[in-house]
Amino acid sequence: MKHIFPLLTVGLLLSSAAQAQTKLTIPPLSPATHIRQDFSTSYIDLTYSRPSLRGRTAFGKLVPNGTVWRTGANTVTKVRFGEEVKIGGQVVPAGAYALLAIPDAKEWTFILNRDTAQWGTYAYKPDLDVLRVKAKPTKLAAPQETMSLTVENIKPASADLVISWDRTQVALPITADPDRIVMAQIQEAMKGEKKPYMAAVQYYFNAGKDLTPALGWLDEYIVANPTRYNGYYWKGKLLQKQGNNKDAIAAANKSLELLKDDKNEVAKAEYIRLNQEVLAAAGGKR
């Protein structure tokens, strides 16, 4: 019995020493990243870990063909859509999903799954799939060491979710319907007291819509802001697009007249240039 207490003492000392060890901060082999990309009227949000080749071959070796992959390393890759989108013609409600993939030499299958907390795909449950969609891989000219997942080819209503690694690149097309959302916003906002006149006018112009409502909003804006040159500039721009050059010239000249008293030399120079463009397009003097 006399040897028990020394042994207990040594054990406690070793335990205390282990607990007192300094925690090391080591560079991760597959560093995590987070990307938030503005898209349509909201965003696409990506959270994933980026594996590297480190002398290995990615697809067909490190990532076996024909098996469900986490589309990265560590915890499954997560994608969040800020609004309803379509992928492969299928509707995907706004929200967060696990982005999984089944790579193959000739065709990939992308999967959106509801379980965003799974580590790898060891507990993957197909019954939680939201969709499956096919995509064709292309060959990169040179190998890419670290896997990347990015949002590319961004347009107001479409974008590509692109994965690139080793010599393989695959694009997953995504579409949205921002016009439906924006038009509903404008319709509701125009019922209120603080009407977003200029934003609505510019949207109608850039989206190629019927400009008649926009000209009505501009008239209301000008009545409320008779000394603001931007209202007359935009009125001239819209009238010129409609082919009403005579009234476009008159509006642009009115904008230039109001600019004479503006103290902001930078804004003044810019709007003089813009009004001159309207006059040139409408056949008026520059």
Q: Is residue 2 part of a domain?
A: no
| Amino acid identity, position 36 | R
pLDDT tens-digit readout, 116-172? 999 989 999 999 999 999 999 999 999 999 999 999 999 999 999 999 999 999 999
Q: Please check whether residue 25 lies inside any domain of the structure.
A: no
Number of folded domains that form the chain: 2
Q: Decide if pLDDT at 284 tops 80.
A: no
Q: In which domain, by residue range, is 250 found?
A: 179-282
Task: Among 148, 176, 204, identify where a domain stops.
Answer: 176
Distance in angstroms (rounded) separating the CA atoms of residues 274 and 286: 10
pLDDT at 2 over 60: no
In a domain, 246, yes or no: yes
* Torsional class of 153: left (φ above 0), alpha (ψ -120 to 50), beta (otherwise): left
Q: State whether 46 and 125 are in the same domain.
A: yes
Asked if residue 9 has pLDDT above 60, the reply is no
Lowest mean pLDDT among 14-23, 60-69, 125-134: 14-23
86 token code pair: 């379509």
Percent of the chain with pLDDT over 90: 88
Residue at which a domain ends, from 119, 153, 176: 176
Greater pLDDT, 285 or 186: 186
Average of per-residue pLDDT across 35-56: 97
Write down the pTM of the prediction.
0.84
Q: Which of 48, 154, 147, 142 is nearest to 103 (CA)?
A: 147
Give the residues across from 46 on adjacent strands. 35, 79
Q: What is the pLDDT of residues 202-254, one digit of tens each?
A: 999 999 999 999 999 999 999 999 999 999 999 999 999 999 999 999 999 99
Decide if 131 is inside a domain.
yes
